[in-house]
Amino acid sequence: MGLMLPWTWFFLGYGIIPLSTGTLYDKVWELHRVAELPGGQTQLFIGLHLIHEVTSPQAFAMLKEQSLRVRHPERTVATVDHIVPTTDQGRPLADPLAEAMLSALEKNCADHGLRLYGFDSGRQGIVHVIAPELGLSQPGMTIACGDSHTSTHGAFGAIAFGIGTTQVRDVLASQSLALDKLKVRRISIHGSLAPGVFAKDVALHVIRRLGVKSGVGYAYEFSGSCVAAMAMEERMTLCNMAIEAGARCGYVNPDQVCFDYLRHRPCAPSGAAWRRAVTWWRSLASDGDAVYDDQVTMDAGEIAPTVTWGITPAQAMAVDEIIPAPNQLPPGERPLAQEAYRYMDLQPGEPIAGTPVDVCFIGSCTNGRLSDLRDAALVVKGRQVADGMKAFVVPGSQQVAWAAEEEGLDAVFAQAGFEWRRPGCSMCLAMNPDRLEGRQLSASSSNRNFKGRQGSASGRTLLMSPAMVAAAAISGVVTDVRTLLGNAEDTRTGPVE
């Protein structure tokens, strides 16, 4: 964007480092800039590289073909999540293809000296859940992973984005990437969320308002009083979905909420280093006079529990609205809407509430964290899932599972008729045995309602918050969770009693 950044100097106790001004994105970009490349791209240093079993094996094969080694083995961290079964995780895995992928990851990590959080580590889980909970994801870092939801880590004030397999090879070989700088759009969300409205609803609302391609070429900075009041897990949900708006990365400026979350995490700095880290992290937040390429403002009070009705995350609506008719949509969106009505077998002009649901899935890197399970458990507690409903909970990580079990959430779910599973991506993308059958309709706390996403070529997905999925499981139909919450004061915090 041609913004020339003046250099200032920042004193960090051990010396001075150059610090640029502007948005957090500008500052982090400047600090990580290695070189300008002939094609006009920038070579950017990558601070943290996360890998998993699906998008890395071909990268290691390319490395071998080209006789390259891993430049910074200490900066790549691996886990297994996409293909893992959520019932029996004994080795060898029942699916030979899944076992081959896991074995390949283990071998590649051993060959190159990379840290792998496998089943027996006690820390395995979805890559975007474990890196934050280990304290690996930190403000001011550049974070890359062969997975589009890497935007999640932007919640910490990092520049985090998904990459393809050839780029995974580039990071392994050089700890850097050739990239084009993005523009920055500030999305300010002001006010507070009503009871029964969650970060997932905010994310779906933003995508619905701005569309699935508005973010192409942009990083989204989420700010405003609503975002400032969010806990880290809520910010992760919001940044996770930035990619569904087309934005390769989303971020929130680091603040005390972020530092409090990171404090005492296994991989976070400690002692004197912690104090130096916090000083540096604070200095990275966007300056008051930073220049944005675009700004959008939204009112949190307008956001209702939101649910998708179509085949992209932008085809979303408040749960108490009626499915939009073609003439209520911009002309450019009408063909896709027609395709969606047909595929979803939903009628414009009808309410979405009351639509019968076959499968309820709570989990994924969007909503598989402890607070998500608490939100859902609050709805489920003392109730029973509807007859014939298949309902299951897949914690985002082993740490989440143990913390939830410690609080008794597993029992709350089990007593209501939910299955309590082992951690993994599960039916978010159905590369494991958890999948829809035929035309089944799922209420899902994951992030993509694309055709065929949940393992059946004709399967259908309604995206919503974990609490809304819980409400659907209990009622058997799409239900406004607010009708089940009674007058619970603040539904967004605290363990279930």
How far apart CA 62 and CA 110 sit, in angstroms, is: 17
Residue 173 CB, nearest approach to another protein (Å) = 6
Question: Per CB under 6 A, which of residues 43..82 are in contact with ligand SF4?
Answer: 81-82
Does position 169 interact with another protein (CB under 8 A)? The reply is yes
Does position 364 interact with ligand SF4 (CB under 6 A)? The reply is yes
Q: What are phi and psi of 292, to 5 degrees?
A: -105, 150
Whole-number Cα distances in Å, 465 to 21, 171, 312, 422: 37, 34, 16, 20
55 binds, among another protein, ligand SF4, none (CB under 5 to 8 A by kind): another protein
Residue 90 CB, nearest approach to another protein (Å) = 19
**Range in contact with ligand SF4 (rule: CB under 6 A) among 88-96, 294-302, 329-337, 422-430:** 422-430
**244: nearest Cα among 202, 283, 213:** 213
Question: Per CB under 6 A, which of residues 128..187 are in contact with ligand SF4?
Answer: 128, 147, 149
Tell me whether the omega of the peptide bond preceding residue 330 falls within 30 degrees of 0, making it cis: no
364 binds, among another protein, ligand SF4, none (CB under 5 to 8 A by kind): ligand SF4
- Backbone CA torsion sign across 433, 439, 441, 447: positive
Does position 447 interact with ligand SF4 (CB under 6 A)? The reply is yes
Per CB under 6 A, the list member of 24, 70, 84, 126 interacting with ligand SF4 is 126
285 binds, among ligand SF4, another protein, none (CB under 5 to 8 A by kind): none
126 binds, among ligand SF4, another protein, none (CB under 5 to 8 A by kind): ligand SF4
Q: Taking a C-beta distance cutoff of 8 angstroms, is the pair 209, 117 a contact? A: no
C-alpha dihedral (14, 268, 203, 430), degrees to nearest 10: 140
Q: Taking a C-beta distance cutoff of 8 angstroms, is the pair 192, 224 a contact? A: no
Question: Per CB under 8 A, which of residues 424..443 are in contact with another protein?
Answer: 429-431
Does position 35 interact with another protein (CB under 8 A)? The reply is yes
Per CB under 8 A, the list member of 41, 121, 188, 415 interacting with another protein is 41
Q: Please, which residue, 337 or 378, has the CB nearer to another protein?
A: 337
Does position 64 interact with another protein (CB under 8 A)? The reply is no
How far apart CA 367 and CA 361 sit, in angstroms, is: 10
Exposed, middle or buried by CB within 10 Å (0-12, 13-18, 19+), for 96? exposed
**249: nearest Cα among 146, 143, 345, 178:** 143
Per CB under 6 A, the list member of 428, 443, 472, 478 interacting with ligand SF4 is 428
User: Interface residues with ligand SF4 (CB under 6 A)?
Assistant: 81-82, 126, 128, 147, 149, 364-365, 425, 428-429, 446-447
